Each structure stands twice: as structure tokens, then as C-alpha cells.
Structure 1
Amino acid sequence: MNERRIKVLAVEDSENDFRLAIRQLRRAGFEPDCQRVQDLTSLRKALGEGPWDAVISDFSMPGFSGLDALAEFRKAALDVPFIFVSGTIGEETAVSAMQAGANDYVMKENMNRLGPALERELGQAARRAAHRQAEAELSRFEAQLHQAQKMESLGTLAGGIAHDFNNLLGAILGNLELARSDLPPDHPVQVALGQVQQASVRARDLVRQILTFSRRQPQQLQNIPLGPVVEETFRLLRATLPASVELRLRQGKTPLYANADATQLQQVLMNLCTNAWHALHGEPGQIDIGLEATHIDTATARMRGLVAGPHVHLWVKDTGSGIDASTLARIFEPFFTTKSTGQGTGLGLSVVHGIVMSHHGSISVDSDPGAGSTFHVHLPATSAVPALAMPTEPPAPVEPARGEHVVYLDDDETVMLVMVRILEKAGYRCSGFQDAHSALAAVRDASQRVKVFITDFNMPGLSGLEVAREVAAIRPGLPIAISSGLITDELREQARRVGVLAVIEKENAFSEIVPQVARLLNFAAKPAST
């Protein structure tokens, strides 16, 4: 029979009775590692030194009682069996002892009960420990779920605001382009307009960060080696950070791959290292960037919201001031910052969080005040797959406009009016609409001689895809384009199915609209292949 190892603390003044208890435990299948104490001072010391699997105690001893021993045991807050082994305890006293917290009592004349009683109590203690562990794990999962739900709701709110704000900024930038082109280059107003344009571009970049946080920024996910991305960022940081900051790169020679957007991962690393630099508060310090392969087991994966298996571990460690617990709890929230007014938007780490989550990864922080911080990013690892070189054709030359009729549909009046002005200035005849049914009526009217139809994607009522489908049914072969602030592979595929020839990124639509219309007209002019 395999003996079960167990560590037992015995409170017993009799050496013979102590040996008898050990003998009974061995007969019951235990391999006891026992320590005997005979006074309260020794008991207190032994309880603190633990850990113990069980405590057995005589009831009547010189100088103190078993109830005194039980009281010290209760102070230690150990969830292990406490069993009285006595030859003098009566039934009434035994009941009092059980009420005081003892798990059981065994009479010395019936010592063969000690083994089974201890086996039963150890089983119950194990079940209590498993229950506590399950409750702790459930609490962690609930906290993670609450955080995920909070971040998701904030992302939805931020993404909605950013979408509308993007339209406003687009209209501002479009009108600026028109205004500057109407003025001679040396006009004094050009300087003021240029400053407005620079501020608008910075605002647009801020919107990009919000869209990235809300996971609405288009991604270019590819199976890429991460080493070159980290090395390029390292070189950029080394040229940017002060010489007082010691920047170190730690990575192995084996190439590591992940399905990722290289630009967004570079943004993650830049933001984390900038955050680490700020934690140094202008003092000399050290920032380490690390990249290594790791394996996530099932339990860890479940805790972090990952899929078990091989992962890539990217980390940034600093020797800065560290982060307290209250700040750690909110560190990835958007617009939360510990910096002074004007020194930060509080978006950096929330953007990092959004990017990592969109890559099906996880991010965590180890930090203590005064002891620096380490940010850990884990991404699912992939195998090296050689990228296929896609043949590229030179862009077709842009033909000058000859008054062709373009219909532009957008429910945002400001955006629509700017687009109309840009196209008309380029030499096209442009009709702008905010209502889909009016735009479709213009297509049905043969006298309008519509040559190109462009529609926004995200509109109330009929969506851009539904409008495009209607246009294709009314005028088969009419070149159709969709403008969207969020271009995904799914959107491109859906647009292709309904006959859309081009999907225009709304952020660049004001500069791309004229050459895009020319390309659509050029495509329509080509004879059908036989």
C-alpha cells in the first residue's frame, strides 16, 4: 500500500502517547512527519512555521489546556483538521470543544479511530480548499468580464463619436484644400490656413487612435516575422529617447512569426516605451525590450482569454517609479491619465489594449511603486510562411474631366457639399444628395446622363451596399464606388458582389476622389472582353 505523506503538529506532553498516535497514523496508511510541542510558546512558533496538514492535541496538559491550544490554532486561521486525542474528555466537554472549532475528538482507549477520523477531515479540508480556489477563479473571471464589458462599451461609444468627428474633420480638411487652391501661394492667408490644416491633421490622428482603441481601424493582418518590427522600432526609439536612458533589446536568433499588422505592433511598442520613458520622470534609467517564444498552458490561457499553445511574448520593462494598485486597475481605460493637463490624452495604453485584443492576444502589467513596471504582450505564434509576391500594375494615367455627370450620395451634408465642390472644380458636373431615393431617381432619369455613382456606406435607411445594388439593377454597367471610414476585407467582398468597382477610404476621399472618378470613367470606357 502506498503511504500518504502528511505533516502533523502534535500538542502532547506524553512521549508515549505521541508515539502511539504516530503508530496509529501509520497503520491507517499515512507516512506522518510529526513535530511535538508541549507549551503555548512552542505552539505559537510552530503554527507560524508550518505549513501543517493537521493538528492533534491532548486535552489535559500541565500549564495549559487543549482549549487554550485550540484558541491559538484559531488565531493562526489555518483551514486544516484539529482533532483532540484525550483520555479524560467527557461528552459535555467534547461538545464544547466541537463548538469551539475542533473538527473531532478521539479517546485514547479507542485510538484506532484516529486514522479514519483524520482521513475524513482531510478530505473535507481538501474540498473546502478546492471550493475556495474555484470561487477565487470565478471572481477573477467576473472581474475580467466586467473589465471587458466596460472596455467594449467605451469602445463602442468612442467609435461612434470618432466616426462623426471624422466626417467633420474631413469636411474641414476638404474645404481647406479648396480654399488654399483658390489663393495664390504667396497670399498672407496661406500661413493661417496652413496652421489650421496642421491642427486638423493632428486631430485626425487622434481620431485614428480612438478608432484603433474601439477596434474600428482597418488592419492589414499578415503572417510576418516580428524581429524586424521590433528592431526597427528599437532603432527609432534609440534616436528619439535621451542619451540618459539606457535602451536594451533582448531577443533570440530564432525568427518568431505572428499574424499581425506591422504598423499597429510598432505603435504598441512605441506607446509602451514612451510610457516607460515617462515613468523615469526625466531621470537616468533603463528600458528593456524583449521578444521570446513561450507556450501558454490551458489554465493560463483560460485566465488570459487566449487559446492554449505556442505564443510570442513581447515585453517592455522599465526602472521607473512603478504603478500603484488603484492606477493599475484603470490603466487601460481611455482618457485615464496620471499626467498633468496638456501632457497627455490618456489614449496611449487604451490604444495598445485595443490593438492587442484585435490581434487575439493579451496584455498584462507587473508593477509595484518604486520598483518599475513590466508590460507583457502575448500574441498567438504562427509558422513561417513565405509571402507570395503579387504582381502590380502601374496606375493608369488620369484623364482630364470633360463635364461628365457624377452623383455623390452622403447623408452628411457637409461632406457631400465639399465633395461636390471638389469634383466641380476638377471639371465634372456633380449632383449631391443626402437622400438615397432622390439619388436613385437621378440614376433612373435618362436625361441626367449619370456616368459615375458614388455613395457613402454607413447611412440611415438604405445602406451603401443596398443603394449600390439598386443602382446596378437600374443601370447595369454604371461605375459605382462606395466611400467608408472602415474598410475591411468583408466589405470589399460584399461590395464586389453587388457590382461596386471601388471602395474609397473616407479619410483620404477628399484627395482621392478626383483620380478615382477618372479611373472609373476609364474603366467604363474600355470595351468588354470577349
Structure 2
Amino acid sequence: MQSAANGEKLNFQDIVDVRQLQRLMDLFYKATGIPVGIIDIDGRILVGTGWQDICTEFHRVCPETRARCIESDAYIRSHLFEEKYVQYKCKNGMWDIALPIIVGEQHLATLFVGQFFYADEKPDIEFFRRQAKEFGFDERAYLEALNRTRTFSREQIRDIMAYYAEFVHLLSDLAYNNLLLARDIRIRRQTEKALRQSEEKYRTLVENTPDMIICFDRDCRHLYVSPSVKKIADMPPDQFTGKTPGQLGLPDAYCGFCKQSVKAVFDTASSVEKEFDLETPGGGLSFNWRFFPEPDEKGGVVTVMVIARDVTHRKKMEEERANLHIRLLQTQRLEAIGTLAGGIAHDFNNILSPIIGYAELASDDVTGDSETSAKLSEILTAANRAKKLIQQILTFSRQNVPERRPLKLRSSVLEASKLLRATLPATIEILHHIDDTCRPVMADSTQIHQVIMNLGTNAWHAMRETGGILSFSLNEIRLEGSDDIPGKMAPGDYVRMTVSDTGHGMTPDIAERIFDPYFTTKENGKGTGLGLSVVHGIIKNHGGSITVYSEPGKGTTFNIYIPVITEKYSVIPPRHDSEMEKGCERILIVDDEEQIVRMMRLMLERFGYHVTSHTSSPDAVKCFRARPDQFDLVITDMTMPRMTGDMLARELKAIRPDIPVIICTGFSEQLNEKEAEKMGADYFMMKPVIKNELSRIVRKVLDERR
């Protein structure tokens, strides 16, 4: 609290109107017969009502019995914070119960209920006679005072203390608010005004609480409602009095809920707590409802009090936390996919290397128009498709840097639809409407392929049960007017790629959210909700835009806009075997995969190079150390047992600093061209090794060292 920081001592009577509190307690005593007192931490009695004659006329008067009372007070104060409330039977034979009154973090006063007897234990008359004789009391008057002492059942005491716990909580909040208010007005001449505001705040606190407070009788008629009842009905509180929810025209579900809950409290004399949602004039709201009995002196239920708290915001926050948890799980899932993708890429590229390499070597050995040559060409096509598949996996897991080059979308659409045709059932017809004159766009072919495959797969899901038509359209358009331009694209020439289906379609609210991360309409476990989000990100990163139009029962159409290349560009023609760059230098190859070593050796020897190969890094170091001047270039794998490629490069350059080194890898998160350069390598090459690329890179590195 601020007062503690300022070194000030707080007095309860300075921040609460004890006179009004006294009047309130007097009225409560008249209504309930419950004796109560409030004593500050210095022992001063601030409020007292209904104190028993046996206490005020006897026990608190005689020094010996007063010492017992003080001992009881001390025990209670020392145990105040061990339970919700503390009760103690003093040596004078009477029961006291107390609750601490905490303002902020300071204990300022204590509320006492007592003295009384429990109904299940009869007073020991002989004990009190002996006590009267021992301390010189008038026995007759003393026993008459004893007979006037109140008796409560233990259930009543629990209910009384439950009420006082709420009352003390309310009183503490009031006192604390009064304190904060008083701190804001420190000028002494404004003290009276501040106190009046505090009194007014106290008087209106219950009426202005945001919680709805309602009192029902046995027939579920409203005996009292707080003004906050306007949350559920647009009518003043006084119109509720004497009427049931049904007579007020409130929703049937609410009427049944109140009737059932009130009946349960009257039947069991126990509290009921439930959550129930209401459609109110301001919209749907969620409430926590606490129905609790108001007992009479015999323990029967007189009325049912209700506290209804608006928990709409809390439930919304709980839903948001649950969604965040789901997103966290999805993120962890993606991280796992990323880790798995890296492992797959490394192993799969190592497998593809000898497949592609030996297929290329075999193609060189056969005539161009033979059946064998055609078969080898199909092997190379399939292997290259597998290579691109790995690139797609790495792109999805964000471990691959996109390469944008001039690209005609026609080839991408036809290749992707050909792959879709092989996987989709015959009930799905694929149509093409492609304008062959569309100019190229600057794009990453792998990512565009991923976009088309994703949209095609989504279309299949929409037509899986009924079949239908999947259409791909491609045309070039000019966007000029603001009404024609989707998103925030600039006016200009664009290639529009349209993917449409005749599936079940979407409602507008779903169509608005399909590009949101983690949003999916598929069953649990059958979709991550990331596909269209990734598609949206790819198109946006290409400087384009994607729109969707859909109607339930009529299908869905996606339009993708990518700007055409307006400046001059050049396309590097593919190299032919006759253009292979050759040489006669001496090359050391190191790779723990025997197949890859043999394949690379054959390729390099066909290029005219003299090759020495090893499948062990230590053996390669030993060979190099024996003849360091006999080699012009080293080509090494990165991931090898006992000594990795970067370690090998440093070892060899320690022997001969000018030896050029090329590091190859199937995949490595830590390795790229910049990192390879830091490791001492002169070039970085990804597997699978393609013959043309190997020829060009080897020649380039050797020529740069001349």
C-alpha cells in the first residue's frame, strides 16, 4: 500500500464511517439477533451491538475474568490468518469468533461475533455457579444473564460467517477505496468533502456493483433486484418486484433455470453454483450464478439470494488461452516437421545423387534415339521431380531460400496438373484454359508449384464425395482502376492464374478467414490450417495478390495475380554435353558414401580430370599430407564420421593454405555459402550432384585459383 511506503500508520476509523457502521450493525442485530463487534488493532472498540449482559456486566468488569477475555482476544489475534475465521471458547465458558479486516495489505481491525453457545452443547450451570462464587458475582443475576445468552447451530454459524466473510470483503474494499480517495485529496480543508464522498460511495456500493444481486421467494418471485439487472432485461428494477421471470416475459430457458435452481436451494438448504448464458439486449453474455439460502432462526430457508457475475470476458480469455495453446502445439509440430525435413533432405539427396549421376552417365553411353535412352530420360525426370519435392519440403519448413528467376507459369500449371491427375480419382475432371502468350513472371518455380498443388488438393477435398471439375486458367490482364485492383497492388500488367472447382463451396464468414494461420474446416487431425496461409504468404512475397470467391453449393474460385516482368531479362540456355567444361587437373574426392564416390570419379574422369578418392576423412588427410603438391582441388562431403567436411578443410589448409576446397552436402541447417566460406571452403555445392553443375563449378574454382 502507498501508506506503508510513506511510513504512515492507518486507523480504521479514519477511512470508514464507524457511526454509520454502528447503525448498520444495530439494524442487522435487530433483524438477526447476531451479536457483533469491531475492534481496532490497538484494542479500541469501534462498533459493538448485541453484546451479552454476561460479558458487559460480569466478565469484562471483574479483573480476573477480564484477564481471561483478554487472553481469548490474544489467542484469536494470533490465529486470525490460519483459517477463513477463527473461533475460541474462552476460560469463562463462552464462544467467540473473529474475522480480520484487511485494508490493502494491512490488518486494521477485527470483527468479533460472540459471546454465544452452540446449540449442540448445553451450558454447564454448575460451572457458572462456581464461577459466580469464585469471583463474587450475584449468582441469581449472573445465571439470568447466562440464560439470555444467544445459542446458534453450527450450520447457522457457518452461514453467518459466510455472510460476514462477504461483508468484511466488501468492507475492506470500501475502506481501501476510501483510502485511495482520501490520498488523492490531501488538503486538510477538503477532508470533510472527502468523507462525504466516501460515505456516499459506501451507501451506493451495493446498488452499483456490476454483479447482479437478486432475492427470490419460494415461488421464484423477485423480492429484490439490483440496478445491474438491466444486463438481462431492459426495464427498471422496481418492475421486477413481486413477479416471476416468466411473468416478466424473460426467455424460457432463463425461467426454467431460475425455477430449478431456487427449488434446489429450498429443498436442500444448500448453495448452488452454475454457469448459464443469456441472450440479452446487448448480445450474448455468460454469467456465473451463485444461489444461496437465507436461513431463519430454526435453520429453514426464508429466501434465496443470488449473485450473478458477468464472466463473458473471462471465458473469452480462457478461449483465447486455449487457442494460444493450440497454436503453440501447431508451432511445435512445425518445428518437428522442420527437423524431420532436414533429416529427410540430407538422406534423400544422398540417395538421389548416385541415381541422377549414374543415369546421366548411362545416358552418355547410349544413342539419343534408342528406347534405353528414353527410359533413362524418364528416370532423370522422376529423380529431378523428387529433388524438387525435397525443395518444397524445405521451403514449407522455412529451411530453403527461394530462388526467383524468369518463369512462364504455363509450364508450372501443366506440370502440377499432370501430377494432380496422377493422384486424383477419375471422378475429378481437370480442364485447362491457358493463354500461351502470357509473359514471364519473376518467381520461384518450386513455390509456385507448391501453390498450385495446394489449391488443387483443396479443390479435391471440396469435390471428394460428389466429384466435379477442377479448372486451371491462365491469362494476362492490365489492372488500372482502383476498383479492378485487388489488395494493395499497384496498377500494371499481371498474369492471372485461376483455380476453380465445382465443390461444396464456402459461406462468406469462412471465406473471410481461410487465409488466417491455423484456420481449418477439416476434421481434427486432418489439417494444420497452414496450407492457404502459406499460399497467401508466397503470393504476397512475389508482389502479387490472391482473392477468393465462393458460394455454398456452387464451388470456389481462387484468382492469383503476379506482376509480369517489364524490364529486359535473359534466359540462360541449358548446357549440352558437348559444352561440358573439361580439364586435366588432379582432384581429391572424399565422401563416406561409396556409391557417390564412384559416381563422381567417373564423371570427373570423363571430363578429363585425374581423380584420387577416399571414403575415410583420416585416410584422405594422410594421403594429402604425403603428397600435398599432387592435388589441384579437393571435393569433400560435409557430414562424415570421425571428421566432418569443415574439419577436413581446415586440416588440409593447415597443410597447404592455397588448396581450393569444395564442400558438398545433402542438407545442413548450419551450412550455406557464407558459412562454408568462414570454414575455409572455396565453394559450397548441394547434392544431388548434377553433371553439368559439377563440370561448371569445378572449372570455375580451378580457374579462379590460377
Aligned to 2:379: 196
Q: 1:414 aligns with which of 586, 589, 595?
A: 595
Look at both structures and tell me which one has the larger radius of gyration over its CA atoms.
2
CA spacing shift, 1:350–1:47, aligned 2, 3 Å: closer
**What's the CA shift string for 1:16-56, capped at 9, x where partnerless?**
x96x8468879xxxx97546484575589525379x9xx79
Counterpart amino acid of residue 266 in structure 1: I
Q: CA deviation at 1:407?
A: 0.8
Aligned to 1:329: 524
* SS across alignment from 1:92: coil
Within 5 Å, give how 1:469-484 maps onto structure 2. 469-484=650-665
Aligned to 2:457: 275
**What's the CA shift string for 1:88-135, capped at 9, x where partnerless?**
96662339x8xxxx6xx3xxxxxxxxxxxx7xx45xx35x66665554
Q: CA deviation at 1:514?
A: 1.6
Cα distance in structure 2, aligned partners of 1:186 and 1:236? 28
Counterpart amino acid of residue 326 in structure 2: A
* SS across alignment from 1:174: helix
TM-score of the superposed pair, with normalisation by structure 2: 0.46
Name the structure, 1 or 2, with higher relative contact order (CA <8 Å, separation 6+): 1
Conserved 8 A contact 2:266-2:293: no
Cα distance in structure 2, aligned partners of 1:467 and 1:139? 50
CA spacing shift, 1:24–1:357, aligned 2, 3 Å: closer
Q: 1:146 aligns with which of 325, 329, 343?
A: 329
Aligned to 2:253: 48
Cα distance in structure 1, aligned partners of 2:370 and 2:695? 25
* SS across alignment from 1:431: strand
CA spacing shift, 1:92–1:359, aligned 2, 3 Å: farther
Cα distance in structure 1, aligned partners of 2:343 and 2:375? 31
Q: CA deviation at 1:509?
A: 3.9
Conserved 8 A contact 2:214-2:226: no
Q: 2:343 aligns with which of 151, 160, 168?
A: 160
Q: CA deviation at 1:75?
A: 8.7
* SS across alignment from 1:421: helix
**What's the CA shift string for 1:295-337, capped at 9, x where partnerless?**
xxxxxxxxxxxxxxxxxxxx9997733799894323346xxxx
Q: 2:392 aligns with which of 197, 201, 209?
A: 209
* SS across alignment from 1:219: coil
Gaps of 5+ in 1: 106-117, 223-227, 248-259, 294-314, 334-348, 377-388, 526-530
Counterpart amino acid of residue 346 in structure 2: H
Cα distance in structure 1, aligned partners of 2:463 and 2:259? 54
Aligned to 2:703: 522
Conserved 8 A contact 2:451-2:535: no
Gaps of 5+ in 2: 1-200, 278-286, 421-427, 434-441, 474-484, 489-497, 507-518, 542-547, 559-567
Counterpart amino acid of residue 217 in structure 1: N
**What's the CA shift string for 1:44-92, capped at 9, x where partnerless?**
9525379x9xx79998xxxx99849x99x98984543456798x96662
* SS across alignment from 1:418: helix
Conserved 8 A contact 1:407-1:454: yes
CA spacing shift, 1:261–1:285, aligned 2, 3 Å: closer
Within 5 Å, give how 1:54-93 maps onto structure 2. 67=266, 77-78=276-277, 79-81=287-289, 92-93=299-300
CA spacing shift, 1:286–1:453, aligned 2, 3 Å: closer
* SS across alignment from 1:430: strand
Q: 2:635 aligns with which of 454, 461, 465?
A: 454
Counterpart amino acid of residue 462 in structure 1: M
Q: CA deviation at 1:517?
A: 1.4
CA spacing shift, 1:359–1:450, aligned 2, 3 Å: farther
Conserved 8 A contact 1:404-1:429: yes
Cα distance in structure 1, aligned partners of 2:320 and 2:649? 50
Q: CA deviation at 1:292?
A: 3.8
Q: 1:466 aligns with which of 647, 650, 656?
A: 647
Q: CA deviation at 1:139?
A: 3.2
Aligned to 1:311: none
**What's the CA shift string for 1:220-253, capped at 9, x where partnerless?**
599xxxxx99x979x959x979999999xxxxxx
* SS across alignment from 1:163: helix
* SS across alignment from 1:408: strand
Conserved 8 A contact 2:276-2:289: no
Cα distance in structure 1, aligned partners of 2:593 and 2:261? 85
Conserved 8 A contact 1:48-1:76: no
Aligned to 1:336: none
Counterpart amino acid of residue 593 in structure 2: D
Conserved 8 A contact 2:601-2:611: yes
Cα distance in structure 1, aligned partners of 2:430 and 2:360? 43
Counterpart amino acid of residue 167 in structure 1: N
Within 5 Å, give how 1:22-421 maps onto structure 2. 33-34=236-237, 36=240, 38=243, 42=247, 46=251, 48=253, 67=266, 77-78=276-277, 79-81=287-289, 92-94=299-301, 105=305, 121=307, 125=309, 132-220=315-403, 263=445, 265-278=447-460, 279-280=462-463, 282-283=467-468, 292=487, 320-321=503-504, 327-332=522-527, 401-421=582-602
* SS across alignment from 1:442: helix
Q: CA deviation at 1:179?
A: 0.9
**What's the CA shift string for 1:158-198, capped at 9, x where partnerless?**
43233212212221111011111012224442233223333
Q: CA deviation at 1:430?
A: 0.9
CA spacing shift, 1:283–1:402, aligned 2, 3 Å: closer
Conserved 8 A contact 1:58-1:85: no
Cα distance in structure 2, aligned partners of 1:359 and 1:472? 45
Conserved 8 A contact 2:392-2:447: no
* SS across alignment from 2:468: coil
Counterpart amino acid of residue 445 in structure 1: A
Cα distance in structure 1, aligned partners of 2:315 and 2:634? 64
CA spacing shift, 1:174–1:245, aligned 2, 3 Å: closer
Counterpart amino acid of residue 203 in structure 1: A
* SS across alignment from 1:180: helix
Indicate yes or no: 2:684 matched with 1:503: yes
Conserved 8 A contact 1:285-1:319: yes
Query: Bigger CA drift: 514-523 or 482-491?
Result: 482-491
Conserved 8 A contact 2:580-2:607: no
- Aligned residue pairs: how many? 414
Q: CA RMSD in A?
A: 6.0
CA spacing shift, 1:320–1:501, aligned 2, 3 Å: same
Identity value in percent: 23
Conserved 8 A contact 2:356-2:383: yes
TM-score of the superposed pair, with normalisation by structure 1: 0.58
Conserved 8 A contact 2:213-2:225: no
Counterpart amino acid of residue 46 in structure 1: P
* SS across alignment from 1:328: coil
Query: Bigger CA drift: 512-521 or 39-48?
Result: 39-48
Conserved 8 A contact 1:440-1:471: yes
Aligned to 2:666: 485
Within 5 Å, give how 1:423-462 maps onto structure 2. 423-446=604-627, 449-462=630-643
CA spacing shift, 1:431–1:316, aligned 2, 3 Å: same
Cα distance in structure 2, aligned partners of 1:435 and 1:468? 14
Counterpart amino acid of residue 451 in structure 2: L
* SS across alignment from 2:352: helix
Cα distance in structure 2, aligned partners of 1:408 and 1:456? 9
Counterpart amino acid of residue 80 in structure 1: N
Counterpart amino acid of residue 367 in structure 2: P
